[in-house]
Structures are given as C-alpha cells and as structure tokens.
Amino acid sequence: MVVPINDQASNAAGTLGSYGDGSAVSSSRSRQDTKGNTATGASAAGARAAFARAINPRVQANEPWSWRMSSIGLLTHAVRSHGWGFIPNQILPPLLANITVGAVLYTSYLQLLGKLYPPASELAKRVYPPIPLTKTFIAGCAAGAIQSVVAAPLDALSVRFRPSDMLDGRYKTMWQYGHLKLKEIGLRGMFAGWSLSFFKDAAGYGLFFATFEYVKAQSYYAFITQYYGSLDWPNLHEEHRTRTIRPYFAIEPMFLLLAGISASVAQQTVHYPLERVQEIYYRSLAKTDQTVKTTMPISSIMRIYIGAYRRTSGQCRARANRLRGWRKWLYKGFFRNTIRQVPSTSAGLIIFEMVRRRYGNEVEVVRIEKDGYDIILT
C-alpha cells in the first residue's frame, strides 16, 4: 500500500522552495507524482520513503547517496522538520493498514489450511505426514483472494496518491487523505481494477505458500531420509551402532531459509508481470474517476471500466510488440526486482514459521523409518 506522509504541508513546501531552483523542484515533484501514482502494491515503507524524498532537500538536489538518504535518515529529517506529530499522523496509518492486511492473509491461510487438512488445525509445531501440495496451494489461493478484498480500499488510496497533494496543502494528514479520497471515489472507485488484483493475489499467494510448505517439509524430509539412509551404517563396529539417528541441527534452518527464498521467487513469477499490466491500467484511473459519476446507471459505469481494460490491453500489446514478445516485456527487469524483494519476503515467512512453532502445541517426536533405523525429528 502506498500512502502519503506529511503533517505541515505548507512548511514542507517552504522547505522545498527554499532549496535550489523552484522550477527544478516542481518538475521533479511532477515526475515523482507520475511514478508514485502508478506503483501499485508498493509497501507502506516504500510510500513513506517516496514522500520523505519529496520533502528532503538533499534528495531534491541529487546529492550523492549517504545514510541521510536511507529510510532512517529520511524519517529523521521529516521528524526534525515537522515534529513528532509526523509519526502518528503520517507513519502510523500505513503501518496499521499493512499490519491489518498481513494479519488477514496469514490468519485466513492457517484457518483454511486447518479445514482442508485437519492435522494442521491442531497447531502442532511439526505436521507429519507433511501437508499435500494441493492443499497448501488451495489454502494460499483462497487466503490471497480474501486479502485482495480487504486490501482493495488501501490499494485505491495507494495508486491515487500524489505527493504534490500533500505539499500543496490539499490534505494535512494521512487520516484526512484516506477519509476524503475514499468518499470522493466511492465504492466503485475502490474496486476499480480489482479483478487484476484478485487474480494476482490468489495465484501469487497460492504459489507462495505451496512452495514454502513443500520445500520446508517434503523436500527436507526427503533429503534427510535419502542422506542418512545412504550412509554405510551396517559397516560400523557393533559398539558404535545406534538404532536412532538425529539429523544435524543446522540442516532444517537451511531448508527453512531456502523455502523462504523459493517462495518469494515463485510468487514474483506471477506478481511481477501482472504488476506491469496494473501500472498501465492505473495510469488511466484519474481520467476514469472524472468520467464516472455517482448518478450514472450501472450499465454506463461498467462500459467505462470495460473500456479502460480494453485501452490497457491495447497499450500492453503495443509495448510487447516493441520488445518483440510478451515474455520479454512482462519479465523485463524481473531478476533485479526479485533480488530486491527476496530478503524482506523471506524474512517475513521465516518469522511466521518461528512464531507458529514457538506457540505451537507440543507433539511426540517424529520418527522416519529407514533401513531399520529411526530418524528422529523433535
């Protein structure tokens, strides 16, 4: 979700105007508006950084990168310039929104997974036999679909946000921006383009959770069974023989990390190309909002939104033709973007798994029989 941050918009404008050439700042602001307005699905952190850059004179002057241009540095400058009220008025709303969406996603997933695979509903620290791939994929798809409904109003705010609206004093706080903008666009505006978000979140999170659970469980169990089963245990001297084997403690964390990375990459294979399409669609939202009137009949409104999809399709086709293929256009920059996304996404999944195990119910140790030996997993 992209959201604005600023408390004293007039002071921020004064800060910009007093540093360097005003026309250059205005031009830079326009470019940031255009880019920010089409960046759908961005995180709250990205939104805060985007607006903080708009009110930071060092960024506007294109100074070389330093710690002052990091997220912490930008936030520090904003608090110094506009006081501690900047945090509850501008930082807190997007944080609460992202926390809510994340809570809905993971809670829905766990509840649906418990319905599809009853052993998972026991909230055990380890589920064995592991959950089938189809069950985790279906639960992930459903959870992503539910999350897309909750996130629709937040995405509507994100893609329509322009830093200049805050700098020019149209909105004073994020709370005011959210209230007035949602009132302005109405329910239909909130769900404009939702079908793309629905498919993106459903398919993306289906792959996300299915990949994570498969690598974390099935792949891990298969590896330790194959590895420890291939060792030449019978040739050991009698006094060194044992009937049980405990895998090396670092193996499972390595698979957990691999699961997080694999899940992030799998999700991006769906999210990234659809976000490319969404960027083009959302560029026409301002014009669509002006065209759609609350007094219009439903049939007329539907024709307007269908027309927006057709225009988006035509523009996407033209861009794909320029690059000589849909795949080249849709996945242009995929690896660079994925590398940037992997650390945060993987960390979120690992924390999710750690919390699930920390508060999971104690169960008996898992025993995997192999060649007359028991591989013990605690």
The residue ranking higher by pLDDT, 244 or 318, is 318
DSSP state letter for 333: T
Q: What pLDDT band is residue 155 in, cutting at 50, 70 and 90?
A: confident
pLDDT score of 323 more than 50? yes
pLDDT range class, residue 303, cuts 50, 70, 90: confident
Return the minimum-mean-pLDDT range out of 18-32, 106-120, 218-232, 270-284: 18-32
List CB contacts of 90: < 8 A, sequence separation 6 or more: 4, 5, 6, 7, 48, 51, 78, 173, 174
**Most confident listed range (160-174, 206-220, 272-286):** 206-220
Is the pLDDT higher at 149 or at 360?
A: 149
pLDDT in tens, 178-206: 888 888 777 777 888 888 899 999 999 99
Confidence (pLDDT) at 53: 56
Mean pLDDT of 18-45: 40
**CA pair distance 155, 196, nearest whole angstrom:** 12
Long-range Cβ contacts of 52-59 (<8 Å, 24+ apart): 52/5, 52/77, 52/78, 54/12, 54/16, 54/29, 54/163, 54/167, 55/6, 55/12, 55/15, 55/16, 55/81, 55/167, 57/15, 57/16, 57/18, 57/19, 57/20
Phi, psi of 245 (to 5 degrees): -130, 130
SS (H, E, C) 281-303: HHHCHHHHHHHCCCCCCHHHHHH
Residue 300 to residues 58, 190, 293, 307: CA-CA distances in angstroms? 48, 17, 10, 11
Distance (Å, whole) CA 85 – CA 73: 17
Token pair, residue 204, equals 């993306």
331 phi and psi angles, rounded to 5 deg: -105, 15
Neighbours of 41 (CB within 10 A): 20
What are 241-299's pLDDT values in tens digits?
556 777 777 888 899 899 999 999 999 999 999 999 988 888 877 777 777 765 677 77
- Give me the pLDDT at residue 247, please: 78
CA distance 36 to 164: 11
Nearest Cα to Cα of residue 344 among 44, 5, 37: 44
Q: What is the rounded average pLDDT for all residues in the chain?
A: 76
The predicted structure's pLDDT at residue 54: 58
**Rounded distance, CA 113 to CA 117, Å?**
6
- pLDDT score recorded for residue 206: 96
Q: Where are the beta strands (DSSP E) in the chain?
A: 244-245, 366-370, 373-377
Q: Which of 64 and 187 is assigned the larger pLDDT? A: 187
| pLDDT tens digits, 87-133 | 888 788 888 888 899 899 999 999 999 999 998 887 777 788 889 99
The three-class DSSP label of residue 51 is helix
